[in-house]
Structure 1
Amino acid sequence: MNFDFDVAGEVRFLQMSKLGDLRFEAYESSKIYKDQTNKWHDAIIVKKYIGLGDLILLFNSKVKVFPGKLRSRWSGPFKVMGISPYGAFELWSDEEEGTFKVNRQRVKRYYEGDDKGPIEVLYLREPFPKEETS
């Protein structure tokens, strides 16, 4: 058997060329997918607009140490007394003397509920009638 090294070299070069094309197509496909995912994610993000005087809740990360199903990890409400240009909030509370600073990532806005009086209960189905015993 006699091998032609020139023909084998050309075949190998074509295979490497196809492999490079496949790699490039995979890269482009991945880039398009990431761009679409980023657009979708950015569209559903809701910006937090917190101003001076707003009431906010503070995330208490120490609660993780003491597990409890019904224990809330949010404490407050606190009043915003100042905002730094890099996202730190200066908070004030009636319970604590003075102010303290926290990072923007640890807070969320506090919405006070409207008291609209008693709640009306509407049953979708009538309860079963009580059986009379004689």
Structure 2
Amino acid sequence: MNAYENAKLYKERTQNWHDDRISNRTFFEGQQVLLFKDSLRLFPGKLKSHWSGPFRIKTIFPQCTVELTTENGSNAFKVNGQRIKPYYGGDVERHMEIIDLGKQD
């Protein structure tokens, strides 16, 4: 009986500890978000990102369903709200520099 009570107390404490560390994510229409790609597990790669986007939130439905559109607004699709995260970045300047590693005299 003692072991049963201790197991019950342990489960309650573990659940409370877990619930305290969950962060609430609130989204609004027009916000930019990233979408989790679950198809990556078929073609794994160390350096491949699991996130695609950014996408823009078009509509928020009840039960954690979100309608996303591409940046130009051409495609609209519904996804589970647990598969998105906020996108905080902006435009990234990417430049390439060529370095000559040839033989020097």
Measured against the shorter chain, the TM-score band is: 0.7 to 0.9
C-alpha displacement of 1:114: 9.5
Higher strand proportion (structure 1 or 2):
2
Q: TM-score scaled to structure 1, two decimals? A: 0.63
Which structure 1 segments of 5+ residues have no match?
Answer: 1-23, 116-134
Q: TM-score scaled to structure 2, two decimals? A: 0.78
Residue 64 and residue 46 in structure 1: after superposition, are their counterparts in 2 closer, same or farther (change >3 A)? Answer: same
Residue 114 and residue 46 in structure 1: after superposition, are their counterparts in 2 closer, same or farther (change >3 A)? Answer: farther
Other-structure match for 2:17: 40
Q: Which has the larger radius of gyration?
A: 1
C-alpha displacement of 1:30: 0.7
Instruction: Please give the alpha-carbon distance, in whole angstroms, between the structure 1 residues aligned to 2:64 and 2:58.
Output: 13
Q: Which aligned segments of 4 or more residues in structure 1 are displaced greater than 3 angstroms?
A: none
Other-structure match for 1:74: 51
Which structure 2 segments of 5+ residues have no match?
Answer: 93-105
Other-structure match for 1:52: 29
Higher helix proportion (structure 1 or 2):
1
Higher relative contact order (CA 8 A, sep 6+): 2
Write the letter of the residue equivalent to 1:92: T
The DSSP-based 3-state class of the residue aligned with 2:33 is: strand
Choose 90-99 or 57-66, whichever is displaced more: 90-99
Residue 114 and residue 102 in structure 1: after superposition, are their counterparts in 2 closer, same or farther (change >3 A)? Answer: closer
The DSSP-based 3-state class of the residue aligned with 1:112 is: coil
Instruction: Please give the alpha-carbon distance, in whole angstroms, between the structure 2 residues aligned to 1:58 and 1:43.
Output: 25
Instruction: Please give the alpha-carbon distance, in whole angstroms, between the structure 2 residues aligned to 1:45 and 1:69.
Output: 27
The DSSP-based 3-state class of the residue aligned with 1:79 is: strand
**RMSD, matched Cα:** 2.0
Write the letter of the residue equivalent to 2:87: Y
Other-structure match for 1:64: 41
